Amino acid sequence: MNHNFDPTVLREYDIRGIIGETLGPDDARAIGRSFATLLKRAGGSKVAVCYDGRVSSPILESALVEGLNGSGCDVVRVGMGPTPMLYYAAASANDVDGGIQITGSHNPANYNGFKMVFQGRPFFGEDILTIGRMAEAGDWIDGVGGVEDRDILDEYIDRLVAGFGDIDQSALAGLKVGWDNGNGAAGPALEKLAARLPGEHHLLYTDVDGNFPNHHPDPTVEANLEDLRALVAEKNLDFGVAFDGDGDRIGAIDGEGRVIWGDQLLMIYAEELLQRMPGSTIIADVKASRALFDHVSAHGGKPVMWKTGHSLIKSKMKETGSPLAGEMSGHVFFADEYYGYDDALYAGVRLITAAARLGKSVTELRGAMPNMINTPEMRFQVDESRKFAAIDEVKERLANSPAQVDGTDGVRVTTDDGWWLLRASNTQDVLVARAESESEAGLERLMAQIDEQLALSGLERGESVGH
């Protein structure tokens, strides 16, 4: 017995496809067989399984469990919940060797997919390709496994609340926060968490609805933060927090309605952490603002620029012993007092505690940040066969340039005007561009450099495409 996946679903960081077109129950079953076989061969035997609120998730979960059992692994079903609740199950339970979350994350409602943890480490890249090869060859152990249901929601909430540490919560009684769950999988967890937090909390769209009737659950798109912005203004709140569809990415709005982007949130977290852990290494992806790297240095930390991708960042954290990392996309990873994975609910708690420890409001902290002028992330279609080659050509042409060229992930070029970035997406046939300057004229000059390099490789920016 074997199985062939649609080639488009095996991605760099997860497995993802369109239900009924490129992904279905047979794929879920095959993922279970391959993952369980790998785990058994590595000496493991028990997998936690969780699923998000998408309409297709329960069917995929059932097939996945069948596949895991079919190759001899026992399954701990933790039910419907956000991806970080699955990560918590895998990190905190002594008897669990791996975890799989069924989630379409921030993708449209007809998508779904799988995020995986293997014996405490991220499972991505070559691991995912291995799953595909094993399925194609039918290289599966046959076996029998058991299934148990385990309700970990309350335990998970206890762990989130423990994020307040030694802070006197009574001092936060006047705090007022808005939360937008966007009908994603974190709804029930958010309701329980908010009931335990100090201060006054106003919640939007906590009912889980895989059709996302109010707005799309992607907090990196400013239009999706409009309802939260209106709530903050109407109720005169201190700030607002938004989640993506599976609760592993955070977005935020300050009390004046300004967006606090992923790298700006990291500036707040880093400033607070460096007071407690001087000299720490703080990691951010290549899309992050220069202001963040300068801020980390100014507060005595060691900034490290690394490749985009939550699995790549998590691996780099382990390698460097970094207690904090983040991405522009809103993934924030805390390993100082937490497990090192991305959890937007925990990041929300840590935003409250960071402001309290720094003795400043979130609005003050956002207001103190330098006013950089930057482009949004621009994504444009490029043939798969050209996307990496084009980046290599740009690197070669700039090898002897007076500008500072960083090739960590694509090409990031720093000039007197600021910086620009060109990188190939690991998950789609697109190139990603971004630029940042302190002036509009500087930004124009940087964009002209991007266009010049693209033209020299026979490409043009064209219209930006979605995720």
In DSSP notation, 98-110 reads: EEEEE--TTS-TT
Whether 401 is catalytic is no
Query: At residue 6, does pLDDT exceed 80?
Result: yes
Q: What architecture is the 373-456 domain classified under in CATH? A: 2-Layer Sandwich (3.30)
The answer for residues whose C-beta is within 8 angstroms of residue 146's C-beta and 6 or more apart is 69, 74, 75
Render pLDDT for 77-108 as a digit per residue (tens, 0 to 9): 999 999 999 999 999 999 999 999 999 988 88
In percent, the amount of the chain with pLDDT more than 90 equals: 88
Query: At residue 118, does pLDDT exceed 90?
Result: yes
C-alpha span between 15 and 105 (Å, rounded): 11
For the segment(s) 156-367, the CATH number from 3.30.9.10, 3.40.50.2000, 3.40.120.10, 3.40.630.30 is 3.40.120.10
Position 70 confidence tier, pLDDT thresholds 50, 70, 90: very high
User: Could you give the residue range(s) of every CATH 3.40.120.10 domain in the chain?
Assistant: 15-151, 156-367
Residue written as token pair 């490029």: 382
DSSP state of 174: T
* Beta-strand relationship, 430-437 and 378-381: antiparallel
User: Could you give the residue range(s) of every CATH 3.30.310.50 domain in the chain?
Assistant: 373-456
Position 310 confidence tier, pLDDT thresholds 50, 70, 90: confident
Render pLDDT for 346-376 as a digit per residue (tens, 0 to 9): 999 999 999 999 999 999 999 999 999 999 8
CATH number of this structure's domain 15-151: 3.40.120.10
Catalytic residue among 71, 105, 311, 329: 105
Query: At residue 425, does pLDDT exceed 90?
Result: no
In whole numbers, what is the pLDDT of the chain averaged over residues?
Answer: 95
Render pLDDT for 315-332 as a digit per residue (tens, 0 to 9): 899 999 999 999 999 999
Q: Return the amino acid letter for 196.
A: R
